[in-house]
Amino acid sequence: MVLPPTSSGSDLDEHGVPNAPGLGGRKLILCFDGTGDLFGSANTNVVKLVSFLKKDDYRNQMVYYQTGVGTAIRTTVFQGLLKAAAYGIGWDIEYQIMGGYTFLMQNWVPGDRIYLFGFSRGAYTARALAGMLHKVGLLPRGNDEQVPFAYKMYMRTDKQGWEESNRFKKSFSNNVSIDFVGVWDTVESVGVVKNVSFPFTASGNHIRVFRHAISLDERRVKFKANHYHASLNLARLSQAAADEDAASGLAETDMQEVWFAGGHGEIGGGNFMDDDPYDPARIPLTWMLRELVLTDTGVEFDMDALKKADIDLPFEPQGGRLANGKAVPEERPILPVHYIRNLDKRYDGDVKAKISDQLAISPAWWALEVIPFSHIHHGPNGKVSYTYVPNLGKPRGVPSLPPKATVHVSVKERMKLEGTYRPAAKWTDEPTWVE
């Protein structure tokens, strides 16, 4: 839990809370690391993002970092087994979600803007936290004992649960929206055989901007991509949820999911040492940083840290994406100066850097490939179905639902440079190639 330092005088407003001189109030940025990930010598894109953010003025921008699922479990013999379970099925994710929720509860004041980032199950944690904030609202500061109850209310998906969560939100909570969710290769993997789905993690208009970088080459069954479906029919979840979204007045989420070359760790980082000159994960990292700027978030960066990492950013937003605080669904081309190849000064080397196949590197993963885990399928009109078959190392499927799959041009460049490289995931229709 992080609280602002004690302030006095002009630092506080008439209510005794810190003044927020920045764009639309303070920026509250929450970053959730991947499964088993924490700070070290081979850091993920989550850690690198944190290192690029300004953290020297809590009155303007606050940054919260949480280590990955499984890292908080001590490693006695028995707890080592629990830790392995957390890695495999993410059973302790509720504590990650409630940790982020508690930080916001203790620090948010009206006017603050919320940004959520994550990798792997940390990405799912970020999306679930956004869903919890939407469904039950944000409790006022000091209500620590209520947080577990609010979480249970969030997880209920029966008719009575939806109705009670609406009443709970109106009675106890503040209504907050999420300005930006940026995630690298979201995986769910919560549950033993059938994955448990958390409300509002795959759809809803409670997020202004959603950006998702996805792996083309990951094959492990417990690392299947978890997509965002902005157009899902919420009425199938509950009429109460559909009514609330319809009445909210929020514009449809500005959503992009872009596929990149590499396995799970080449999208969210952590497979290369920090001092390695090239890393495929730099490409989706730079893409995310660029999108933060071009969508008018107002997030502030440590320019010296970016310079040291050989990353440039377009520090003038293209404009036109905000109207009364809502996303404007307007298509516009990315200017050449904003292409990743012109922002990442190591781009050519990053495109050619080696990508991994964890099933080949660590054969122990094959023990899970023969188990018939559930696979979720989204059909027309929001219909969801499950199949139970062993994965047996099959690559990810590229959704055939509109809009067409969006693939970064660095994939095409890798195919051209390497000659033998072809993405493990296959698409049926020619994708939309983006810079």
What are the pLDDT digits (tens) for 282-310? 999 999 999 999 999 999 999 999 999 99
Taking every pair of Cα atoms in the chain, the longest distance, rounded to a whole number of angstroms, is 65
**pLDDT tens sequence across 223-282:** 988 888 755 544 344 445 555 555 556 678 999 999 999 999 999 999 999 999 999 999
Pairwise CA distance, residues 315 & 348, whole Å: 23
Which residues span the domain enclosing 136?
A: 26-362+401-433
Pairwise CA distance, residues 140 & 171, whole Å: 11
The count of structural domains within the chain is: 1
Task: Tell whether 379 is covered by a domain.
Answer: no
Question: 195 falls in which pLDDT band (50, 70, 90)?
Answer: low
Pairwise CA distance, residues 117 & 93, whole Å: 15
Task: Tell whether 374 is covered by a domain.
Answer: no
**Residue whose tokens read 């310079």:** 307
According to the model, what pLDDT value does residue 82 have?
A: 43
According to the model, what pLDDT value does residue 270 have?
A: 93
Distances in Å between the alpha carbon of 24 and those of 110, 119, 251, 281?
A: 10, 27, 18, 31
Task: Tell whether 369 is covered by a domain.
Answer: no
Is 200 in contact with 206 (CB distance < 8 Å)?
yes
Residue 178, classified by CB atoms within 10 Å of its CB into exposed (0-12), middle (13-18) or buried (19+), is buried
Give pTM, 2 decimals.
0.85
The residues, any chain, with a CB within 8 Å of residue 81's CB and separated by 6 or more, are none
Rg (alpha carbons) of the chain, rounded to whole number? 21
**pLDDT tens sequence across 268-277:** 999 999 999 9
Task: Tell whether 372 is covered by a domain.
Answer: no
**pLDDT tens sequence across 97-118:** 999 999 999 999 999 999 999 9
Pairwise CA distance, residues 103 & 1, whole Å: 5
Task: Tell whether 16 is covered by a domain.
Answer: no
According to the model, what pLDDT value does residue 236 have?
A: 44
Write out the two tokens for 281.
């994960």
| Residues 387, 392, 396, 400, Cα dihedral to 10° | -50
Higher pLDDT, 103 or 89: 103
DSSP letter for each residue of 361-425: H-GGGHHHHTS--EEEEE-GGG-EEEEE---TTPPPBPP-SSSPPEEEHHHHHHHHHHSS---SS
Is 27 in contact with 37 (CB distance < 8 Å)?
no
What strand order describes the sheet that includes 113-119?
61-66, 27-32, 113-119, 178-184, 207-215, 254-260, 406-408, 432-434
DSSP 237: T
Task: Tell whether 66 is covered by a domain.
Answer: yes
Assess whether pLDDT exceeds 80 at residue 315.
Answer: no
Is 3 in contact with 107 (CB distance < 8 Å)?
yes
Pairwise CA distance, residues 224 & 248, whole Å: 32
User: Residue 30: enclosing H or E segment and its boundaries?
Assistant: strand 27-32
Task: Tell whether 97 is covered by a domain.
Answer: yes
Task: Tell whether 123 is covered by a domain.
Answer: yes
